[in-house]
Amino acid sequence: MTTENSKPQEQHPATILSYVRDLPNLCSLAGLACTILAIYYSILGFYSAAMIGMIWAVAFDWADGLIARRMKGRTGDDSAFGGQLDVLIDIVSYGVTPAILLLSIGKFDLLYLPGAFLMVAGSAIRLSYFSTFGLVGGTKYTGLALDNNNIILVFIFLFAGMFSEDTFSIILYASCLGLTALNVSQIKTPKLSGNLLNVFILAAYTLGLTAIYGWMLL
C-alpha cells in the first residue's frame, strides 16, 4: 500500500567498472591498447611497429561493433556506454595517433604542429557531428569515416623506403591534410564495418600488413 509520503525507488546506475565486463567494450579497450603502442613506437621512431598497432586498432574497433550487434541481453545502458566509449577511443586512435605519427616523421618540427592540430580537431568535429546526426538514411556517413585514416596511412607507409625522409614527410603531411579534409567534408560514404564481406577483407588486410611490417622489424 502506498501513501502520500512514499517516494518511488531511485534507480542507481551500475558501477563504472562493471561495464568493462561487456565483451564489446573489452574489444574497444584492446583497440585502445594497440593505439597506445602505436603512439609509443611512433615517438621512438619504430614505425613498422607503430603501423601494426594502428591497423589492429581498426580491427578491434570493427570487432566491437560486430560483437555488439550479435550479442543478446545487452541493455540500453550497455549500448549507450559502449557508444560513448567508442567515440572517445576513436578520437585517440584516428586523430591523436596519426597526429603524433606526423610530428614524429617531421622530427617534431614546429611546422608540423598545424597539421597535427588539424587532424585532431577534424576528428573531434567529425565525431561530434556523427554523434549529433548519426548515419544518413541509416547506412551512410557524412564525411570519410575516421577509421579510414589508419587504413590508408598504414598503406602509404609501405612506400616510405622509396623516398628520402624529407620527401616522405611532405607526402605524409599532404596525406594527413587530405584525409582531414575528407573527414569533415559533405561526401557520403558507406558504413563498411556493417558488411560481413568487408570484415573479412579487413581481417586479411590486417594480417597481411602485420606480416609485412613484422618482417620489416626482423
Q: What is the secondary structure of 81-113 as a DSSP string? A: HHHHHHHHHHHIIIIIHHHHHHHHHTTT-GGGH
pLDDT tens-place string over residues 84-122: 999 999 999 999 999 999 999 999 999 999 999 999 999
The reported pTM is 0.90
The pair phi, psi for residue 15, each rounded to 5°, is -65, 155
Instruction: Please report which confidence band the pLDDT of residue 1 belongs to, taking 50, 70 and 90 as the band edges.
Output: very low
What radius of gyration do the chain's Cα atoms show?
20
pLDDT tens-place string over residues 26-40: 999 999 999 999 999
- Can you count the helices (H) and strands (E) in the chain? 8, 2
Instruction: Please report which confidence band the pLDDT of residue 2 belongs to, taking 50, 70 and 90 as the band edges.
Output: very low
Instruction: Please report which confidence band the pLDDT of residue 174 belongs to, taking 50, 70 and 90 as the band edges.
Output: very high
SS (H, E, C) 18-48: HHHHCHHHHHHHHHHHHHHHHHHHHHHCCHH
Distance CA(110)–CA(61), nearest Å, equals 32
Domain ranges of the chain: 23-217
Q: Give the per-residue pLDDT at 137.
A: 84
- Unique residue bearing C-alpha cell 558501477: 15
- Please state the CATH superfamily assignment of the domain spanning residues 23-217 in this structure: CDP-alcohol phosphotransferase transmembrane (TM) domain (1.20.120.1760)
